[in-house]
Amino acid sequence: MSWNSFGHVFRFTTWGESHGPAIGAVVDGCPPGIALAEADIQPWLDERRPGASPLTSPRREPDRVRILSGVFEGLTTGTPISLTIENEDARPADYAGMPHRAGHADRAYEAKYGVRDPRGGGRASARETAARVAAGAVARLVIPEVTIAARPVEVGGSEDEAAWDRLIEAAQAGGSSLGAVVECVAKGVPAGWGAPVYAKLDADFAAALMSINAVKAVEIGAGFDAARRAGEDNAGRAMAGGILGGIATGEPIVLRAAFKPTASVAALGVKGRHDPCVGMRGAPVVEAMVALVLADHKLLHRAQCGDDG
């Protein structure tokens, strides 16, 4: 929750541009004594990887993660865990001389920094999310009591899963792109994690998911639908999504994030590689952010209330 860091006690910092030599994350505050190897992280990166299906961007770097610190003889030591992923397939030439892309963050960056890095979106690129996924893989090991599962529930406005491939192919063929809604359910979160006001569990989830590039909306539990219900329904906790007053109730936590379609479609004459539906790749990133928030709140709760609190 500072520039490029997130978390209160279990904190991580990400760095790197999509077309520089590497990207990475530093995970700080990780408990010691947790078994951690590159093989614990790699599968999550492979799942996130573009090019894993014909329906996503053809960029194909292997995304090999390296652990550079914080682990000794297979166990975390409690010191910062530095994770790096080299960008083997960077092609900045694709972007040379290209104009500002409409709907892209380039112009906003230039307004802020007075410096323009046209290479693949800079920090606003989907590639930054690989560092989150790597950090999230560490977070998962901190919260073995929790299972987290995210999946698209809506693509291009359709909730019919069977139709999605066709919709995406059509968008791709037409140089267009589609939005998506990703839903995430976290089970096993003990009642009591969270905090009542500005470190509310739901506020941290909202920040975590809204910080993902392309996300424009976040819901907890019934979300916007809650605004359409009457108080009787609320009594049944149906709306809560596992969080009341910022604190986990022990029931499954339910979150949704809306991904807008990418703007840099072929119709705009841009040669850079982009997804026809970035939301399809959003699920592993959403899971990673949810894991990172929960690992942080596990530690935060333990800080204030002790192991049995």
Restricted to residues 83-112, the positions that interact with its own copies (CB under 8 A) are 84, 102-109, 111-112
Per-residue tokens: 93: 């030439």
Applying CB under 8 A, the span of 36-44, 48-56, 57-65, 229-237 interacting with its own copies comes to 229-237
Which of 76, 134, 143, 287 touches its own copies by CB under 8 A?
A: 76
Which of 32, 43, 99, 269 touches its own copies by CB under 8 A?
A: 32
Residue 190 beta carbon to its own copies: minimum distance, rounded to whole angstroms = 8
CA distances from 155 to 123, 209, 256 (A): 25, 18, 13
Which of 35, 54, 58, 69 touches its own copies by CB under 8 A?
A: 69
Per-residue b or e along 33-59, where b marks 16 or more CB atoms closer than 10 Å to that residue's CB:
ebebeeebbbebbeebbbeeeebbbeb
Tell me the per-residue interface mask from 148 to 187 with its own copies, x by CB under 8 A, - otherwise: ------x-xx-------------x----xxxxxx------
The reply on whether position 2 binds its own copies by CB under 8 A is: yes
Which of 53, 72, 145, 271 touches its own copies by CB under 8 A?
A: 72
Which of 217, 258, 265 has its CA nearest to residue 104? 265
The reply on whether position 42 binds its own copies by CB under 8 A is: no
What is the three-class DSSP state of 161? helix
The reply on whether position 260 binds its own copies by CB under 8 A is: yes
The reply on whether position 141 binds its own copies by CB under 8 A is: no
Query: According to CB under 8 A, which residues from 183 to 222 bind its own copies?
Result: 191-200, 202-211, 213, 216-222
What is the three-class DSSP state of 263? coil
Dist. CA 149–CA 174, nearest whole Å: 32
Per-residue b or e along 248-270, where b marks 16 or more CB atoms closer than 10 Å to that residue's CB:
bbebbbbbbbbbbbbebbeeeeb
